[in-house]
Amino acid sequence: MPEQEDSTAKVKTTFDPNILQDLLPLYYKRLFPHKQFYRWMSYGRSESSVFSNREFSFTLQDDIYIRYQSFETQQELEREICSKVPFKIDIGAVYNIRPKDHRGSTAVQPVQRELVFDIDMTDYDDIRTCCNEANVCQLCWKFMAIACRVLDEALREDFGFDHLLWVFSGRRGIHCWVSDKSARHLDTAARSAIAQYLNVLISGGEGTTSRVIIHDEMHHSVKRAYRIVAPLFEEICLEDQKIFGTPEGVKKLLALVQDQAVRAEIEKRLALVPCDSKSVWQEFIGYFEDMRKSGNSSRYRRYKFIGEEAILAFTYPRLDINVTKGFNHLLKSPFCVHPKTGKVCIPFNPNLASKFDPTDVPTITDLLNEVNTFDEKNTVEGEENRSKIKDYKKTSMFKGTVIFEEFLRKLEQTFKGKAVALSDMKMEF
């Protein structure tokens, strides 16, 4: 529908956090995808109590925190969201009882939960030079795009998961919700095993970067990750971030070499080259190439994969594995509005993660302005043309909602007809 695309105003406004409380009622009433959200959380009613036993947490204005909420229907959840107007909605686990009844029970246990991943840009502060803390730009977003590709391929190819929802966190990171039934029913030990499998980085200690250790040969999952990150290493680390262009950056590179004598030899060679990232990197790799050519195989064997280890150390995803391991860990819901930035936590296509621009994500102010602009253009002689176009389709949030719809369509194909079977099992004669 071209007219909808033309109607989306591209003029970005500066978000004022002080007016969020005034804008959220309109957002929840007109733009939040309540129906699609329920379709996701209810999983087609293919399992008993999968929605009614789900925990939702609301953070209200002034940091009032309400946990252990649960709802019976889409209408009840929507009514509560529009009534309480939460600044943040967190999604928890599905329990063996309704979470709202937890005070009267001594045996509250989580029974299922999406397998979730949380990647935060602040965990890259030791290697990114363009931004720090909560700030993010298109240059450091490339680290997020790499993380998305590496994890998406690993989760699909190594574990056979199909239903992954990738969401921008609204400020400085990304979340992944693995919603396959097999993933939702993993126990804590299995979640921990998957988290550890994907977490190949080893902490390098204070003031150094994390390390990757490859022994006699590269594991197939590490080899696949290397295939993804290696072609981007020069562009991101040497050109964009210029990681080794400072003494601190050089120190982080040298810290990857454990042998003090070898490290000292490299340090002497690096002192003779220009202090720019490309020259430092070429000299670093050149040292080990000379070692290989020297014929000292026993010495070189320890550093056979030093190039690959270094590239992975500076590009591999930095996971918050505690989020993944925790069965009942709360995670911010898609389509929330970040209270500091005003940006919406919108789903994105993992295959196009490199084209996603976090600085261009619409704020709640932008979205409501886009709705008003569309409606004004479709007002005829002072009377609004009451079309059937949903409000979110009038905005730049439309693309993210389409991605969510496509995710739901594929997910729902896996349990088509199971809701009917479940209903038949519950029939009393």
The segments of the chain whose pLDDT lies below 70 read 1-12, 204-208, 380-387, 417-429
The residue among 314, 342, 357 that closes a domain is 314
Contacts of 243 (CB under 8 A, 6+ apart): 127, 129, 237, 249, 252, 253, 277, 314
Q: Do 186 and 69 have their domain in common?
A: yes
Rounded to a whole number, what is the largest CA-CA distance in the chain?
88
Q: Do 292 and 365 have their domain in common?
A: no
Position 427 in a domain? no
The residue among 285, 314, 343 that closes a domain is 314
For 15-44, the pLDDT digits (tens) are: 999 999 999 999 999 999 999 999 999 999
Q: Using alpha carbons, select from 281, 215, 194, 209 the residue that is nearest to residue 252.
A: 209
3-class DSSP string for the chain? CHHHHHHCCCCCCCCCHHHHHHHHHHHHHHCCCHHHHHHHHHHHHCCCCCCCCEEEEEEEHHHEEEEEECCCCHHHHHHHHHHHCCCEEEEEEEECCCHHHHHHCCCCCEEECCEEEEEEHHHHCCCCCCCCCCCCCHHHHHHHHHHHHHHHHHHHHCCCCCCEEEEECCCCEEEEEECCHHHHCCCHHHHHHHHHHHCCCECCCCCCCCECCCCCCCCHHHHHHHHHHHHHHHHHHHHHCCCCCCHHHHHHHHCCCCCHHHHHHHHHHHCCCCCCHHHHHHHHHHHHHHHHHCCCHHHHHCCCCHHHHHHHHHHCCCCCHHHHHCCCCCEECCCCECCCCCEECCECCHHHHHHCCHHHCCEHHHHHHHHHHHHHHCEECCEECCCCCCHHHHCCCHHHHHHHHHHHHHHHHCCCCHHHHHHHHHCCC
Q: For the stretch 188-207, what's the b/e string if a residue is b when 16 or more beta carbons lie within 10 angstroms of its beta carbon?
A: eeebbebbeebbbbeeeeee
The residue among 314, 329, 347 that closes a domain is 314
Q: Do 52 and 83 have their domain in common?
A: yes
Amino acid letter, 420? V
Position 335 in a domain? yes
Cβ(197)–Cβ(221) below 8 Å: yes
Q: Do 153 and 23 have their domain in common?
A: yes
Q: Do 56 and 162 have their domain in common?
A: yes
Q: Residue 270 has which token pair?
A: 């690096």
Q: Do 48 and 185 have their domain in common?
A: yes
Give the pLDDT score at 41.
Answer: 98
Q: Do 44 and 168 have their domain in common?
A: yes
- Rounded to whole angstroms, the Cα distance separating 77 from 96 reads 19
Q: Which residues pair with 344 in a beta bridge?
A: 337
Instruction: List the catalytic residues.
Output: 55, 118, 120
Q: Do 398 and 267 have their domain in common?
A: no
Backbone angles phi, psi at 119, to 5 degrees: -120, 120
Position 5 in a domain? no
Q: Do 355 and 408 have their domain in common?
A: yes
Q: Residue 402: give the domain boundaries.
A: 17-196+320-379+388-421
For 221-271, the pLDDT digits (tens) are: 999 999 999 999 999 999 999 999 999 999 999 999 989 999 999 999 999
- Rounded to whole angstroms, the Cα distance separating 32 from 335 reads 7
Position 426 in a domain? no
Q: Do 236 and 350 have their domain in common?
A: no
Position 3 in a domain? no
Position 131 in a domain? yes
The residue count of the chain comes to: 429
- Rounded to whole angstroms, the Cα distance separating 46 from 66 reads 28
Q: How many domains does the chain have?
A: 2
Position 176 in a domain? yes
Give the pLDDT score at 217.
Answer: 86
CATH of the domain at 400: 3.90.920.10
Q: Do 305 and 371 have their domain in common?
A: no
Give the pLDDT score at 308.
Answer: 96
Give the pLDDT score at 425.
Answer: 44
Position 8 in a domain? no
Q: Do 112 and 254 have their domain in common?
A: no
